[in-house]
Amino acid sequence: MAERNMTDIVFDAMLKEAVIANFRTKMEEMPSEEIILEETPFSDEHNRKMEEIFKTEKRQTIIKKVRTVRSYAKVAVFIICITATLTFAAFLTSTEVRAVFRNVIINIFEKFTNIEFEEPQNQEKEAYRFTPQYIPNGFKLIHTEIYGFSFLVIYENANDDIIIINIHPIGSTNIDNENHEFYEVIYDDITYHINKALDEDKFSTVLWITEGFMFEIEGNVVVEEILNMARSMKYNDME
């Protein structure tokens, strides 16, 4: 009985070794991934469909990113308060008298900059009616979406460069400050907050508030093009 069990054990061990050896031989005989791809070319139609799938997934990732609140751990906080109060003469009519109190708070964190605006919301205009009059050469509209009181627009060119416009009620936003240069410019009494990317793979951002809305334009293009789009933004009140 003991001798038969030992025979079975030896047989099982030899069988296992034979199976493993055979498996290794078959694996070594298999062509490499590069050879398989060379010998099995995909059709142009297949490649086109796969490219479209990847682009769609990329767009959905961008949309989720824009609509998701990003949070990071604080390391150091510097608060800069810029307060501007404009007071109109008491002689003006009630429709003209506006006490405008703008408070911009910029918090510098380790990986992002949080910018918060405090100003009355616009209850009359609709975000989706704002459109840029200038669009960089080669870019075309690929996506628009209304979500709540906000409006999302995405442009893309043949090189897969992306420009995102996000228009929403005035509040706060987070922008990446790693390998970025932050500064401000003023045109036509509007302050544009610019977060310029210092690396080609990073997105530059221009944000500002006007007409009761907060505007953000970001893209992996030169920041001057983004600023040109920002300055060309107009409201279309035609039905």
Predicted local distance difference test score (pLDDT) of residue 43: 72
Length, in residues, of the chain: 239
Predicted local distance difference test score (pLDDT) of residue 117: 76
Helix, strand, coil % (nearest 5) of the chain?
30, 35, 35
d(CA 237, CA 125): 8
Predicted local distance difference test score (pLDDT) of residue 81: 35
Q: For the chain, which residues make up each domain, given as ranges?
A: 54-235
- Does this model's pTM top 0.75? My answer is no
Residue 237: pLDDT band with limits 50, 70, 90: confident
Pick 109 or 51 by higher pLDDT: 51
User: Would you say domain 54-235 falls under CATH 3.40.630.30?
Assistant: no
